[in-house]
Structure 1
Amino acid sequence: MHYTRLRNLREDKDMTQKQLAAILHCSQRIYSNYERGDVDIPTEILIRLSTVYNTSIDYILDQTDVKIPYARKQKK
């Protein structure tokens, strides 16, 4: 699966792969693999991406065109 939306979201934030990889605590090479769809994106990374982009995981994975995030569960 090729994650075109993932690249578009990053570019909309004017971020490089290296900058985003640092936020996600992974290497630029690994992040590049995510964008190209060479490897599956781990759940933890998807959660972080949805937080960085303030959108839903469904939007990131191109399962919906609704960019608005779901309400987040409040931490106790």
Structure 2
Amino acid sequence: MNYRERIRALREDNDYTQTYIASILNVGQRTYADYELGKTRIPVESLIKLAEFYNVDMNYITGLSNTITPFPR
């Protein structure tokens, strides 16, 4: 699973809308949709925000690991 699939799955598993997650990242809904579709590369800073928001480590959110480990605090 790559980061596009992972951020979509995390959003859907938590019943969040693209608009809500976009507001957390301070981007428009269309921009966030493009992140999920792979039309636009998501900035590393945004991946970090999402990992912290969902409380998962970066290896999980980027698809390098399938094991959920809490975001390091």
Q: TM-score, normalised by structure 1?
A: 0.84
| Aligned pairs for 1:44-55 within 5 A | 44-55=45-56
| Structure 1: runs of 5+ lacking an equivalent | none
Which amino acid in 2 is paired with 1:13?
N
Taking only the aligned residue pairs, the percentage that are identical comes to 42
What is the alpha-carbon distance in structure 2 between the residues aligned to residue 63 and residue 45 of structure 1?
17
Structure 1 residues 70, 14: CA separation in 2 closer, same or farther (over 3 Å shift)?
closer
| Root-mean-square deviation over aligned CA pairs | 1.5
Q: Which residue of 1 aligns with 2:62?
A: 61
What is the alpha-carbon distance in structure 2 between the residues aligned to residue 38 and residue 68 of structure 1?
28
| Structure 2: runs of 5+ lacking an equivalent | none
Q: Which residue of 1 aligns with 2:27?
A: 26
User: Runs of 4 or more off by more than 6 Å in structure 1?
Assistant: none
Between Structure 1 and Structure 2, which shows a larger proportion of helix residues? 2
